[in-house]
């Protein structure tokens, strides 16, 4: 999986989770707010409907107003219904076409003087949110009935479904849009890395360490990566160049003592039997000296190679007379059998 795809998936997942949580919070807030508004509406209308009751304190009876007096309160799909303490419908507003049904527990709530919110159903099965307002004459007497102010929950449920669809659609649209933006931004940001990878592949195929990758002028981590890679290439080029020079220097420097040793060996092979002991010993000494010189040259060349790659050699004193004497002996060995002009 490419870095671009991973970045896109990670950022998209993070945004989707964040937007989903935000949408859930908004939805819960809307639900709570709309339900609170609904409860405030029906409780206020129940109180107003209670005020329309004509109470005869002398005879301790309540005269329930007719629907014509209740209809002004039955606005915005609010239903008004009066029930007795058994839950039987006594009167209701004209917009209520089916009686709101009370369960035995709801009837007991009237008798217990509970001012409460209820979820009820009408006789035709419509779900309503209702507020129960008990009516007592006098106030400290057992309730003789209650006022019900109710409102259908279907419009609220429809509004909540629309909110769900809008929030879900918004989350999905925002997530897809961000995925597209992140993909484009990631492609743009990673383009210099792809270019550097192609340059590095070209350097590998050409085996040319003098080439460098293109460093973007962005001043960011990608530019730092390119500069670091170019620095590594420069270091490798220095090492390989030092290695090449070492091979060339070794070939050149070792040719002379090898030639001297080979010349002395040929001399011994051809004229060794006729040589005097002192002359033969001198030739053998020259061969040993040249072999020692070869060993010293190898050590010097190794020290030179280390110095070329950054290691600092430790200087040591050199006997100039011994160096000159060794060079003279080497030249004398090479000069045997030749006319020097």
User: Domain for residue 125, yes or no?
Assistant: yes
**22 with 97, same domain?**
yes
Please give the pLDDT value at position 25.
93
Examine the fold and report which residue of 140, 160, 180 is the final residue of a domain before the chain moves on.
Answer: 160
**271 with 151, same domain?**
no
Examine the fold and report which residue of 160, 184, 215 is the final residue of a domain before the chain moves on.
Answer: 160
Please give the pLDDT value at position 261.
80
Please give the pLDDT value at position 1.
61
Please give the pLDDT value at position 131.
94
Pairwise CA distance, residues 274 & 232, whole Å = 62
User: Domain for residue 101, yes or no?
Assistant: yes
Instruction: Name the H helices within 98-153.
Output: 104-111
Inter-helix orientation angle 154-206/3-51, to 10°:
170
Name, in order, each residue with C-beta under 8 angstroms of 239's C-beta and a sequence gap of 6 or more.
Answer: 309
**33 with 149, same domain?**
yes
Provide φ and ψ at 122, rounded to 5°: -80, 175
pTM value is: 0.57
| Widest CA span in the chain | 167
Please give the pLDDT value at position 21.
92
Averages of pLDDT over each 10 residues, the chain, 341 residues: 75 88 92 92 89 66 74 86 87 87 90 90 90 83 87 90 91 88 78 74 72 71 76 77 76 77 79 76 80 79 68 77 80 68 71
**151 with 229, same domain?**
no
**145 with 253, same domain?**
no
Q: How many domains does the chain have?
A: 2
User: Domain for residue 259, yes or no?
Assistant: yes
Name, in order, each residue with C-beta under 8 angstroms of 43's C-beta and a sequence gap of 6 or more.
Answer: 117, 131, 133, 149
Distances (CA, A) of 100 to 83, 111, 112, 118, 156: 10, 18, 20, 11, 19
Q: Which helix (H) or strand (E) holds 56?
A: strand 54-56
Pairwise CA distance, residues 99 & 313, whole Å = 108
- For residue 293, give the CATH number of its domain: 1.10.287.130
**118 with 244, same domain?**
no
User: Domain for residue 188, yes or no?
Assistant: no
Range of the domain at 229: 223-335
Provide φ and ψ at 65, rounded to 5°: -70, 150
Please give the pLDDT value at position 165.
92
**120 with 236, same domain?**
no
Could you tell me which residues are beta bridge partners of residue 100? 122
Q: Are 103 and 116 in contact (CB under 8 A)?
A: no
User: Domain for residue 208, yes or no?
Assistant: no
Pairwise CA distance, residues 251 & 117, whole Å = 105
Please give the pLDDT value at position 255.
78
**248 with 151, same domain?**
no
């Amino acid at each position: 999986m490419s870095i671009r795809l991973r970045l896109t998936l990670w950022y998209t997942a993070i945004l989707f989770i964040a937007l989903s949580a935000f949408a859930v919070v908004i939805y819960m807030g809307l639900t709570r707010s709309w339900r609170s508004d609904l409860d405030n509406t029906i409780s206020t209308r129940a109180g107003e409907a209670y005020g329309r009751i004509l109470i005869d304190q002398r005879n301790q009876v309540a005269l329930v107003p007719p629907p014509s007096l209740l209809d002004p309160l039955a606005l915005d799909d609010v239903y008004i219904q009066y029930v007795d303490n058994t839950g039987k419908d006594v009167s209701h507003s004209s917009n209520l076409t089916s009686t709101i049904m009370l369960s035995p527990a709801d009837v007991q709530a009237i008798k217990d003087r509970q001012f409460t919110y209820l979820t009820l159903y009408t006789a035709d099965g419509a779900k309503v949110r209702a507020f129960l307002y008990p009516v007592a004459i006098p106030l400290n007497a057992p309730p003789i009935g209650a006022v019900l102010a109710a409102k259908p929950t279907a419009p609220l449920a429809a509004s909540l479904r629309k909110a769900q669809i809008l929030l879900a659609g918004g989350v999905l649209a925002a997530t897809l849009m961000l995925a597209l933006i992140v993909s484009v931004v990631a492609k743009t940001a990673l383009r210099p890395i792809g270019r550097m990878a192609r340059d590095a592949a070209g350097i590998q195929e050409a085996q040319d360490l003098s080439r460098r990758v293109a460093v973007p002028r962005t001043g960011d981590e990608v530019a730092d990566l390119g500069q670091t890679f170019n620095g590594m290439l420069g270091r490798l080029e220095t090492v390989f160049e030092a290695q090449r020079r070492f091979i060339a220097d070794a070939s050149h420097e070792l040719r002379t003592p090898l030639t001297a040793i080979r010349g002395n060996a040929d001399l011994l092979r051809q004229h060794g039997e006729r040589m005097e002991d002192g002359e033969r010993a001198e030739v053998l000494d020259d061969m040993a000296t040249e072999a020692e010189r070869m060993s010293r040259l190898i050590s010097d060349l190794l020290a030179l190679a280390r110095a070329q790659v950054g290691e600092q050699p430790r200087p040591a004193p050199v006997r100039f007379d011994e160096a000159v004497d060794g060079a003279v002996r080497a030249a004398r060995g090479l000069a045997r059998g030749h006319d020097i002009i």
